[in-house]
Structure 1
Amino acid sequence: MIAIPYLTALSTYFSYGLLFAFGQLRDFFRKIVDWWRASTLDGYAPICLGLEDFYIRRLYLRIQDCFGRPISSAPDAWFDVVERYSNDNNKTLKRTTKTSKCLNLGSYNYLGFAAADEYCTPRAIESLKKFAASTCSTRVDGGTTMLHTDLEECVARFVGKPAAVVFGMGYVTNSAILPILMGKGGLIISDSLNHNSIVNGARGSGATIRVFQHNTPSHLETVLREQIAEGQPRTHRPWKKIMVIVEGIYSMEGELCKLPEIVSICKKYKAYVYLDEAHSIGAVGKSGRGVCELLGVDTADVDVMMGTFTKSFGSCGGYIAGSKELVQYLKYTCPAHLYAPNK
């Protein structure tokens, strides 16, 4: 952990507190003025509520030039950032023709593969010339090319699973798949520090959600044992399905999942294992095959293997690898495969 200087932390909190206090004061007087004005939105609920709207107006707009900065080069370790200016206190930003060379600390392109590469770049250009950037169709209509088929077969071989299916966005791979795999009467047990895409996918599934302490197999076993004993809420019937969801490497903490212990516990209690390898696939293991290879876990013991192409592979999209029956089921039922335009 990096220790933050006390004076720096104190002055930062003081600045936020000062902005908050003056912002609330200005909003109070604005409400008094608006009370005298006729409104054309009487009866409408505000689109933005409470502190979210306050944060955008009084804090974010003041420093928004730090975010969403347009670049004008390949996303390599160093890239060119377009300089911007504002004439209205950062409410709107205008671009200039000048650029600044900046160190890239805001990209998933960890290994530099998304930049110009003497091996990948010519092949990517040839593929774009032949197949274009998008088929402008869903996979089930006219959106599946030979490249998709080859990619899915390659992914399945690489991670050691019988089959795989790819999607155009990594976030959607979790948030759209989990509602298909789980539903009412099911139980999801999720690590407390799992990614937001997992959290949203679990919430959208309708399944009961329980959380175990981050990367703590002993607490996972406690939660599993208690939930199996109690059963479903109100009815106390046995759970239709139990799934434990973990990440290979937790993105914000950089910690490796204690996968061998977790797999052992899931075997003991007959629970499925869902492994998110967005940050571990291509990065760890002797040949880059992720935490299973690194920690000596048989991929047959992991029921659902999820990963993305946005980190180690310098591209976009994600994949789900598993049994042939699982992949076939997802291709027939997942909205992200049936309705999403294909890249």
Structure 2
Amino acid sequence: MIEIPYFTALTTYFSYALLFVLGHIRDTFSYLLFRSQTTKGYAPLCRDFEDFYTRRFYRRIQDCWNRPICSAPGAWIDVVERQSFDNNKTLKQTTKVQKCLNLGSYNYLGFAAQDEFCTGRVIASLERFAGSTCSGCLDAGMTTEHEELENLVATYLGKEAAMVYGMGFATNSSTIPALVGKGCLVISDSLNHSSIVAGVRGSGAKVKVFKHNSPEHLEQVLRKSIAEGQPRTHRPWKKVLIMVEGVYSMEGEMVRLPEIVAIKKAYKAYLYLDEAHSIGAVGPTGRGVCEYAGVDTADIDIMMGTFTKSFGSCGGYIAGSKE
């Protein structure tokens, strides 16, 4: 993790605090001057913090976000420049266009734009199988393209078999309840994605959380959970499943995989690895965090990933043993 310098952090917080104080002072004077204009019996329309934040904070810096784009979202994008004559209350587009490097997209490798290798093959497949090929197998049936994709994913990851899904979020939320249930324990990283949280909640399994990316705390939670067993009955858990991500998207941190694999082996638990943001993006040949960290994929029981990031497509996959 990249440490933020204390000077940068303190001055940033000081700037926010100053804006907060000045904003409330201005709002107080405005209220005192114009409160007589408020119709009796009606509540003020703009008194909550969201409105205050929008007017006094976000409006000053809003041109840094929500930028209008006038090109395909590839590795490079054309951004329309804007200008304001009323302190950013309104922004007007100009005729100027600036070419920018796209660092704000999940399209990590640029495949979602015109690509000399992928685009022609995608069009050929659509002409042969029609648009329903992009649906999940349960919706529109299994084709040779689906079989080829699943075999290719399994081979690419070094696993026995794989299943593909039509939606990345559903890959986690619908698979986890099929893997664990009542009498099982899920030990989840505190910053795991909401799709994992949704899947665990829907499974009926008991869930415990360990500190983000902390193998030491994971081992403490795991050891205590195994010693205590299930609540009330204290019977052994049917399954213990550790759930982590390869790259945590909001933090930009990479999982400490070798240490977690060592703990998993020592306590004979299962390991579920979400590689939505790491597959295709890290490793010498893009095979994800296992290749990057030198971990054998045989030590990962369930490998999950999506096609919506590096591969510039839609859907996801689960790879593991055929069983």
- TM-score, structure 2 length as denominator? 0.77
Shift of 1:181: 3.0
Shift of 1:158: 1.4
* Mapped contact 2:189–2:212 kept (Cα < 8 A): yes
Shift of 1:59: 3.5
**Hey, what's the Cα distance between the residues in 1 that align with 2:122 and 2:38?**
56
Shift of 1:178: 2.8
- CA gap 1:15/1:248 in 2 versus in 1, 3 angstroms: closer
- 1:255 to 2:262 alignment: no
Pick the aligned partner of 2:72 from 71, 74, 96.
74
- CA gap 1:219/1:138 in 2 versus in 1, 3 angstroms: closer
Shift of 1:230: 1.6
For residues 178-257 of structure 1, the aligned pairs below 5 Å read 178-251=176-249, 252-257=251-256
Q: What CA deviation, in whole Å up to 9, does each residue of 1:141-168 have, x standing for no partner?
A: 3264433332122112211223222233
Shift of 1:184: 4.0
Aligned residues: 317
* Mapped contact 1:159–1:289 kept (Cα < 8 A): yes
Shift of 1:267: 3.1
- CA gap 1:84/1:281 in 2 versus in 1, 3 angstroms: same
Q: Which residue of 2 aligns with 1:14?
A: 14
For residues 1-343 of structure 1, the aligned pairs below 5 Å read 1=2, 4=5, 6=7, 9-21=9-21, 26=27, 29=31, 36-38=40-42, 55-56=53-54, 58-84=56-82, 98-133=96-131, 139-142=137-140, 144-251=142-249, 252-259=251-258, 261-285=259-283, 287-325=285-323
Shift of 1:228: 1.2
**Hey, what's the Cα distance between the residues in 1 that align with 2:172 and 2:137?**
18
**Hey, what's the Cα distance between the residues in 2 that align with 1:82 and 1:128?**
33
* Mapped contact 1:284–1:291 kept (Cα < 8 A): yes
Q: What CA deviation, in whole Å up to 9, does each residue of 1:244-274 have, x standing for no partner?
A: 0122344434435333x42333233232110
**Hey, what's the Cα distance between the residues in 2 that align with 1:95 and 1:133?**
36
* Mapped contact 1:71–1:79 kept (Cα < 8 A): yes
* Mapped contact 1:246–1:257 kept (Cα < 8 A): no
**Hey, what's the Cα distance between the residues in 1 that align with 2:68 and 2:82?**
9
* Mapped contact 1:274–1:303 kept (Cα < 8 A): yes
* Mapped contact 2:215–2:256 kept (Cα < 8 A): no
* Mapped contact 1:215–1:258 kept (Cα < 8 A): no
Shift of 1:275: 0.9
- The one-letter code sitting in structure 2 at the alignment partner of 1:275 is L
* Mapped contact 2:132–2:140 kept (Cα < 8 A): no
- The one-letter code sitting in structure 2 at the alignment partner of 1:257 is R
5+ residue gaps, structure 1: 40-48, 326-343
- The one-letter code sitting in structure 2 at the alignment partner of 1:12 is T
SS at 2:219's partner residue? helix
5+ residue gaps, structure 2: none
Q: What CA deviation, in whole Å up to 9, does each residue of 1:83-106 have, x standing for no partner?
A: 346688766766555422122221
**Hey, what's the Cα distance between the residues in 1 that align with 2:127 and 2:96?**
32
**Hey, what's the Cα distance between the residues in 1 that align with 2:294 and 2:10?**
46
**Hey, what's the Cα distance between the residues in 1 that align with 2:183 and 2:84?**
54
* Mapped contact 1:304–1:320 kept (Cα < 8 A): yes
Q: Which residue of 2 aligns with 1:340?
A: none
* Mapped contact 2:246–2:273 kept (Cα < 8 A): yes
Q: Percent identity?
A: 65
- CA gap 1:187/1:132 in 2 versus in 1, 3 angstroms: same
**Hey, what's the Cα distance between the residues in 2 that align with 1:161 and 1:134?**
28
- TM-score, structure 1 length as denominator? 0.73
- The one-letter code sitting in structure 1 at the alignment partner of 2:105 is S
**Hey, what's the Cα distance between the residues in 1 that align with 2:104 and 2:197?**
23
* Mapped contact 2:190–2:212 kept (Cα < 8 A): yes
* Mapped contact 2:136–2:166 kept (Cα < 8 A): no
- The one-letter code sitting in structure 1 at the alignment partner of 2:41 is R
* Mapped contact 2:246–2:277 kept (Cα < 8 A): yes
* Mapped contact 2:135–2:166 kept (Cα < 8 A): no
Q: What CA deviation, in whole Å up to 9, does each residue of 1:315-341 have, x standing for no partner?
A: 33321112334xxxxxxxxxxxxxxxx
